[in-house]
Amino acid sequence: MEIDAGRFTVRLARDEQDIAAAQRLRYRVFVEELGASASDEERALRREIDEYDPHFEHLILIDKETESSDPLDRVAGAYRLMTNDRAKAGIGFYGSTEYDLTLIETCGRPAVELGRSCVGSEVRGGAAMHLLWTGLGEFVTARKIEIMFGVASFHGADPAPLAHALSFLHYNHLAPEDLRVRARPENFAAMDRLPPEQVDRKQAARQIPALIKAYLRLGGFVGEGAWVDHDFNTVDVCLLMDTSRMVSRYRDFYGKEGKPAAPAARTPGDGSAAERSGG
């Protein structure tokens, strides 16, 4: 799978240098911009790395017009993707460190975990995120994926200021019981922090990141409870999308033949730095 779109090319990583370039972008966004913790090795290499990377497939957006001469600076957008087959053959889903994923692991349906999604500041707010979604659409169609999921982040590790957003998600977008994964107890934070009548929808809308809104527009759900991630300085929710429950919106976005539809006036995720779905 490869999409050539003028300045950008979207494809799966082919070698270790491709993966290293995705890790360099992740370091710039998650560590330098958003304040995630990093090891001495990561700081020396300027790459955000974990033990799950070798088990994921990495979808990358290559900027052919980058001004940097360093080949590790050529990746301007990234996702990492793990199918349930790869999870079973490797070390499992990253999201299982935060959520009990038994419902997904035992449902018998093709699934993919989405993770470490980000775009560089130099291309943010344009076509970059839409092109990544286009590549994701081709991946999902080719692999016949039925369930997409991953943790998605609010910046800051205190759920209290996010009470309106978290409560809104809980009351309006809670996953059906057969997909309602639950945050693990160690860092569990209740999402129904306010009574329904006290939730300010406008304030909630201001707090919810653009990429979470985009998944919700496509018919996504959230799991039960949030996870406070102090290492990444985030509050995470688990987003889930079931293609059988969102057929019309899914087809409208990706096109009737599984090919991406034309971008809307505001493409999903415009302007967002990152969304650590799937970790």
Domain boundaries, the chain: 2-275
Question: How far is Cα 218 from Cα 213, in angstroms, rounded to an integer?
Answer: 9
Structure tokens at 265: 């006036």
Question: How far is Cα 267 from Cα 143, in angstroms, rounded to an integer?
Answer: 24
Mapping DSSP to helix (H, G, I), strand (E, B) and coil, where does residue 46 land?
coil
For domain 2-275, give the CATH number: 3.40.630.30
What's the pTM?
A: 0.86
Per-residue pLDDT of the chain (279 residues; tens, 9 = 90+): 899 988 999 999 999 999 999 999 999 999 999 888 999 999 999 999 999 999 999 999 999 998 888 999 999 999 999 999 999 999 999 999 999 999 999 999 999 999 998 999 888 877 888 899 899 999 999 999 999 999 999 989 999 999 999 999 999 999 999 999 999 999 999 999 999 999 999 999 999 998 899 889 888 999 999 999 998 889 999 999 998 876 555 555 554 444 443 332 222 333 344 544 445
- Identify whether the C-beta of residue 149 lies closer than 8 Å to the C-beta of residue 171: no
Give the DSSP per-residue string, 100-152: E-HHHHTS-S-EEEEEEEEE-GGGTTTTHHHHHHHHHHHHHHHHT--EEEEEE
Question: How far is Cα 180 from Cα 268, in angstroms, rounded to an integer?
Answer: 24
| Beta carbons within 10 angstroms of residue 121's beta carbon | 13
| Angle, in degrees to the nearest 10, between helices 247-254 and 128-143 | 120
- Residue in 229, 245, 248, 246 with CA at minimum distance from that of residue 237: 229
Q: Could you give the count of Cα atoms lying within 13 Å of 119 in the half-sphere of its Cβ?
A: 24
